[in-house]
Amino acid sequence: MSQTPSSSAIGTVYIVGSGPGDIDLLTLRAARLIGQADAVVYDHLIAEGVLDLARADAEKIYVGKKSSNHTVPQADLNRLLVQLARAGKSVVRLKGGDPFVFGRGGEEIEALVQSRIPFEVVPGVTAAAGCAAYAGIPLTHRDHAQAVAFATGHLKDGTINLDWPALARPRLTIVFYMGVGGIGEICRQLIAHGLPEGHPAAVVQNGTTRRQRVLTADLATLAEKVEAAQITSPALIIVGTVVRLQPTLAWFQPQP
């Protein structure tokens, strides 16, 4: 019969955000932990080059997490983290962006707590902040928006059943994560609930990286322009009059 290890033999799981894509936006705390880890369990959307910071002998486990395409189901991933920690390993669970902003960090920590596994959360620059900044779109501005809303464009049941009346408000910037697949429905619902067809909107693909693309339009034409430009995930949708500032404030010029 196997024995349960003592608490002194149990490792710690670090839930780490790698930021929106540019490795220079990785926090110092995240870089240190990656370099010390016995195992790195990583997603599809992590900063390019970040795995090079890991030890040569560290176990590197890819768990996918593309939009609507998960290599490892969440329940199996939770069990994996518990098993690695119970084996006495220092585990970095590496995510894109920030673990607590549409990163399922809370779900994974619930499983760790239930199994009495020590953990720590290391915040990362969330995609909304990083991609908007590199696109030249301020999320707030005294002349345009006094509030910001983050919304998912893909709910757990596959629908986009959001609180549209709360989102379709003036002087508000809305950032939709994982919404490109449903961009037509998002634009239709915002218009149906009160925003004008000419309300500014943008899509930022591969933000903060050398592959970044920024497309600006309005709610009436955004979906059509995104399809014509063949923009796919990973991409953010930003809706609000702050988008009008993009031509003036754009500063980042991606280099091939």
65 annotated active-site: yes
Q: For 88-133, where are the E strands, in sequence order? A: 91-95, 119-122
Given 22, 38, 65, 89, which residue is catalytic? 65
Cα 216 to Cα 163: distance, rounded to the nearest angstrom = 24
Coil, helix or strand at residue 116? coil
Cα 222 to Cα 13: distance, rounded to the nearest angstrom = 41
Cα 140 to Cα 171: distance, rounded to the nearest angstrom = 9
Q: Which helix (H) or strand (E) holds 176?
A: strand 172-177
Q: For residue 74, give both structure tokens.
A: 């969440």
φ, ψ dihedrals at 145, nearest 5°: -145, 130
What letter does residue 69 receive in the DSSP assignment? Answer: B
Given 38, 43, 98, 218, which residue is catalytic? 43
> 182 Cβ partners below 8 Å, 6+ apart?
153, 154, 160
Cα 251 to Cα 191: distance, rounded to the nearest angstrom = 30
Cα 82 to Cα 173: distance, rounded to the nearest angstrom = 39
Count of all residues that appear for the chain in the document: 256
Cα 58 to Cα 51: distance, rounded to the nearest angstrom = 10
What letter does residue 103 receive in the DSSP assignment? Answer: S
> Active-site positions?
43, 65
